[in-house]
Amino acid sequence: MTQEPDFEQMLDDMYPYRRTTHTHRQVPERPESRESVRELVADLAAREDAQGDAGRVSGSIYSGDHEHYAFLNEVFGHFSHANVLQRDMYPSSTKFEAEIVAMTAAMLGSREAAASDPSTDVCGVLTSGGTESLITALYTYRERARAERGVTEPNVVLPVTAHVALDKGAHWMGIELRKAPLRSDWLADVDAMADLVDDRTIALVGSAGNYGHGLIDPIEELGALAVDRGIGLHVDGCLGGFLLPWGERLGYPVPRFDFRVPGVTSISADTHKYGYALKGTSVLLYRSRELRRHQWFTAAEWPGGLYVSPGFAGSRSGGLIASTWAAMVTMGESGYLAAAEGIFRTAGLIRDGIRERIPELEVIGDPLFLVAFRSAELDIYLVNDALKDSGWRMNSLHLPPALHFCVTRPNTRDGIAEQFLDDLAAAVAYAKEHAGEPAQSGAVYGLGGTPAGYGTMTTLMAAVLEAMYEPAPPVTQSPAQ
C-alpha cells in the first residue's frame, strides 16, 4: 500500500523555521530591536554552518575559516554602502577591481602568453558570479560576430557537460547551442565538436573543470580547432580556475588550459570559490581589449545623462570588490598553494579509496579535486539517502545518475576523507539492502538532498522556485510523529 505524502512534513523540510520563528508578511508596525535580530540571525547562521564546518559538505563552503570571513566582513563593512556605479565618489573600487583582474590574469598565464605573442593583451572585468561571467562571454561573442561577420543566427559549440548557465544565457539571447557527446574518458570529443562548427559558429566552449565531473576538457585540442576555424574559445574555469594553477605549481598532472594555450580567447574564474572571497564575485578575462570592447554598453542620448556600463549590472557593491581584493592579497601565493595541496591530497585519498575499497562504484574519469562516481548495479540515489542520514551533503548528478564530492578546505582536516569512505561503503551496503525501493534524493542542482521525480521534473523544479519566494505557510498541525 502506497503511503500518502505527509504535506506538513514536506512544508517543514522546505521552511524549517516556520514553527520557531515569526513569519513576516508585511513590514512590522513597530520596529524589532537590533539585539533580537542579531540573536536570531546568529542562531540561524550557527545552525546552517554546522554541517559545512564539520567538513561533511561537497563544495558550497570553500574556505571554512571563520577568522578569514570575519576579516573579509570587516573590509566589506567599510564599503557596504558604496555603489561603484558612482566611480567619482568611490575611486578605490578602480584600484581594487583592476588589481583583482590583473592578479587573476597573471595566475592564468597572461605574461607567458604575451611573451610568445606580443599582440596578446589580457584584460577583464569583475562579475557577480560564474553564471554572469558565462552569460556575459556569450553576449560578447555574439556582439563581435554580429559586428565583424554579420552573423544574425549565431551558434556556440560545446560538450554536453558544459555548465547549464550557458543554456540560460543562450535562451535569453537567441543563441543556438550545439552540444557534442563525450569521449570514452568523459572529456569533450573535439572531432564531434568540429563537425558541428559552421559559418554561424561564434565560439567554442571547454571546461576546466566541469561542474558535474570536475574534469578538464582537452583545451589544447580545442584551441587548435578554434584557431583553424577563426572563432573564439571560452574556457569555463569558474570552478577550477583558482585552484588548478596552484595544482600545476605543486606538480599535479594539470593539463594546460589558460592563456598559454593558443586559441583560448576568454576564461572565467570564480573568486568566490577557490579564490576564497565572499559570495558572489567572479572574473571574466579576455585575450584582447578589442574583444572586451564588445561587452561594453554606452548610451549617449538618454535624458538622464551619459550612461556607461561594463556588463549586466548597474549598481554594484563596493564591499564585495574591496573584500575580494583583500581575500586575494592576504591569501598570497603561499596561502593558495597550501590550500591547494590539502585539497588535491584529500581528493586523491577519496578517488583512490573508492577504486580500491568499493568495487560497486565507478569513479568518472580521472579527477583531481572533484570526485564523481556512479554505479552500474545500484541506485546511486539510495546511496545518497544513506550518506544524508550519516550527515553528509553530496551533489546529485543526472545523465548519468551519479554523485560527486567537490573537495574544499573544510574537507581536508585529518580523518574526514577516511570517515567519508567508511560511510560511503556503509551507504553502498544500504543501497543493496533496499534495492527496488524509491530513493528520497535526486538530482536538482543546488538542492542536493531534496526529493526529485524524473517524470514530473519540470513541474517540480518550477514548484521549488515558486516556493522559494513565498513566506512560510501557517502551521495547521503538529509534525508527524
Euclidean distance between the first and the last CA atom of the chain, given in angstroms as a whole number: 20
Q: Which of 262, 287, 316 is the last residue of a domain?
A: 316
Per DSSP, 184 falls in state: T
Residue 171 above 60 pLDDT?
yes
In-domain check, residue 42: no
Residue 325 located in a structural domain: no
pLDDT at 28: 93
In order, the DSSP letters of 295-348 are: G-EEESS-TT--EEESSS-SS-BHHHHHHHHHHHHHHHHHHHHHHHHHHHHHHH
Q: What is the CATH number of the domain that holds 294?
A: 3.40.640.10
Are 406 and 432 members of one domain? yes
236 and 357 inside one domain: no
Output the average pLDDT for the chain: 92
The residues, ordered by sequence, that sit 6+ positions from 56 with a Cβ below 8 Å of its Cβ are 391, 392, 393, 416, 420
- Output the DSSP codes for 241-271: TTTHHHHHHTT------STTSTT--EEEE-T
Q: What is the pLDDT of residue 448?
A: 45
Is the pLDDT confidence value at 315 over 90? Answer: no
Kindly report which listed range (158-167, 242-251, 465-474) carries the lowest average pLDDT score: 465-474
One domain, residues 372 and 429: yes
Burial (CB < 10 A; 0-12, 13-18, 19+), residue 191, is exposed
For residue 31, is pLDDT > 80?
yes
User: Residue 21 falls within a domain, yes or no?
Assistant: no
Q: What is the mean pLDDT of residues 460-477?
A: 70
- Segment 220-246 mean pLDDT: 98
* Rounded average pLDDT over 88-107: 94
Residue of higher predicted confidence among 260 and 13:
260
Check residue 347 and give its pLDDT: 98
Which CATH number fits the domain that encloses residue 411? 3.90.1150.10
Any domain includes 384: yes
Domain contains 251: yes
Instruction: Look at residue 6 in the predicted model and tell me its pLDDT.
Output: 67
Q: Do both 439 and 294 map to the same domain?
A: no
pLDDT at position 462 is: 67
Confidence of residue 260 (pLDDT cuts 50, 70, 90): very high
Pair 299, 433 in one domain: no
Higher pLDDT, 17 or 407: 407
* Domain-located, residue 144: yes
Tens of pLDDT, residues 354-403: 999 999 999 999 999 999 999 999 999 999 999 999 999 999 999 999 99
CB 268 within 8 A of CB 237: yes
Same-domain check for residues 387 and 306 = no
Within a domain: residue 23?
A: no
- What domain range is 268 assigned to? 92-316
Q: Are residues 274 and 351 in the same domain?
A: no
Q: Give yes or no: residues 368 and 309 share one domain.
A: no
Are residues 222 and 354 located together in one domain of the fold? no
Residue 442, pLDDT above cutoff 60 = yes
Domain count, the chain: 2
Residues 361 and 224 in one domain: no
Choice between 344 and 17, residue whose per-residue pLDDT is larger: 344
Instruction: For the chain, give the percent of residues with pLDDT over 70.
Output: 92
Q: Is residue 181 part of a domain?
A: yes
pLDDT tens-digit profile of 98-138? 999 999 999 999 999 999 998 899 999 999 999 999 999 99
Domain end (from 288, 316, 344): 316
**Residue 450 confidence (pLDDT) above 70:** no
Say what percent of the chain tops pLDDT 90: 81
287 and 152 both lie in a single domain: yes
Q: Are residues 297 and 408 in the same domain?
A: no
This prediction has a pTM of 0.92
